[in-house]
């Protein structure tokens, strides 16, 4: 079939590569979940001094939990905050993109994962109080929950891609098998069958394009209603195409239409 575009489409499309990408990211997120769990478990075992206030539990790190040792809030392990920082470096940092090259980068990493207040508390002359301990554990737990929601969203994306790959493989295989053939060898009925087959492919791909476009407008419930478009742009940031799945569907549909026009030209000449 003399449609040059068909010869450039390989058996592995960006949809296949997208599935590989999502699989890798699921593994990475799973490691982050484990890291937050390990960090929180180790922090729970670290004794804390008396609270700096009796006003009640603190939901997050505030200047209150950053009371200095000079203020005298009670006994605590002198190196407790250093132990927490080291635990953070050992468990969580390996699963981030942060490069640690000094104390300032540690503060930035802590602030990025937890909060600026917690970062300051753990890297200054603050006391390791029960309040600070609670704030750190709650921050780690929140981040773990966020990672778990992202994992659910990636699992849903992987399921969609697996279905799509199963649908695309026969189309790509057919295009590859007919790319170099000459249509001169076929009779009218055979050409009509090819034309009809290509029409089925086009309809299937156009439906896929519409569904993908609609999906891009929807929220991702598994990820706290983050826009699906935002998730896709983040997950496939390394791809040349901003939306590789949609781009692949569109390209394949264009190829099928070009092939269909070529077949139609031969049909007209045979009529």
Please say whether the beta carbons of 112 and 99 come within 8 A: no
Q: Classify 224 as helix, strand or coil.
A: coil
User: pLDDT tens digit string along 15-40?
Assistant: 999 999 999 999 999 999 999 999 99
User: Residue length, the chain?
Assistant: 271
User: pLDDT tens digit string along 69-87?
Assistant: 433 444 444 589 999 999 9
Q: How high is the pLDDT of residue 52?
A: 54
Residues 129, 132, 135, 139: what is their CA dihedral angle, to the nearest 10 degrees?
Answer: -130
Q: How high is the pLDDT of residue 69?
A: 43
User: pLDDT tens digit string along 178-231?
Assistant: 888 889 898 999 999 999 999 999 999 999 999 999 999 998 876 677 889 999
Residue written as token pair 């539990």: 57
Residue (of 208, 174, 165) closest to 17 by Cα position: 165
Q: Cα–Cα–Cα angle for 13, 16, 21, nearest 5°?
A: 125
pLDDT over 90 (residue 249): yes
Q: Cα–Cα–Cα angle for 178, 180, 184, nearest 5°?
A: 85
Q: How high is the pLDDT of residue 112?
A: 93
Q: Where are the domains of the chain?
A: 1-27+152-270
- Range with lowest mean pLDDT among 59-68, 97-106, 148-157, 220-229: 59-68
Report the Cα 216 to chain-centroid distance in Å: 14
Q: How high is the pLDDT of residue 75?
A: 43
């Amino acid at each position: 079939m003399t449609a040059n575009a068909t010869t450039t489409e390989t058996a592995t499309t960006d949809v296949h590569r997208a599935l590989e990408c999502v699989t890798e990211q699921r593994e990475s997120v799973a490691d982050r979940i484990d890291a937050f769990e390990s960090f929180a478990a180790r922090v729970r075992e670290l004794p804390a001094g008396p609270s700096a206030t009796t006003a009640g539990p603190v939901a997050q790190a505030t200047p209150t939990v950053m009371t200095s040792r000079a203020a005298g809030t009670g006994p605590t392990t002198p190196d407790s905050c250093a132990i927490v920082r080291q635990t953070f470096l050992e468990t969580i940092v390996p699963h981030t993109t942060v490069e640690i090259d000094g104390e300032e980068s540690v503060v930035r990493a802590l602030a990025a994962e937890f909060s600026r207040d917690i970062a300051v508390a753990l890297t200054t002359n603050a006391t390791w109080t029960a309040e600070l301990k609670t704030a750190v554990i709650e921050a780690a737990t929140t981040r773990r929950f966020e990672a778990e929601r992202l994992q659910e969203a990636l699992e849903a994306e992987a399921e969609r891609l697996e279905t799509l790959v199963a649908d695309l493989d026969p189309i790509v295989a057919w295009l590859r098998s007919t790319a170099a053939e000459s249509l001169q060898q076929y009779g009218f009925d055979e050409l009509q069958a090819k034309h009809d087959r290509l029409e089925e492919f086009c309809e299937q791909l156009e439906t896929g394009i519409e569904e993908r476009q609609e999906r891009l407008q929807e929220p991702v419930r598994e990820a706290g209603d983050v826009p699906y478009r935002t998730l896709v742009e983040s997950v496939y940031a390394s791809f040349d195409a901003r939306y590789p799945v949609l781009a692949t569907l569109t390209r394949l549909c264009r190829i099928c239409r070009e092939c269909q026009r070529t077949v139609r030209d031969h049909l007209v000449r045979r009529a």
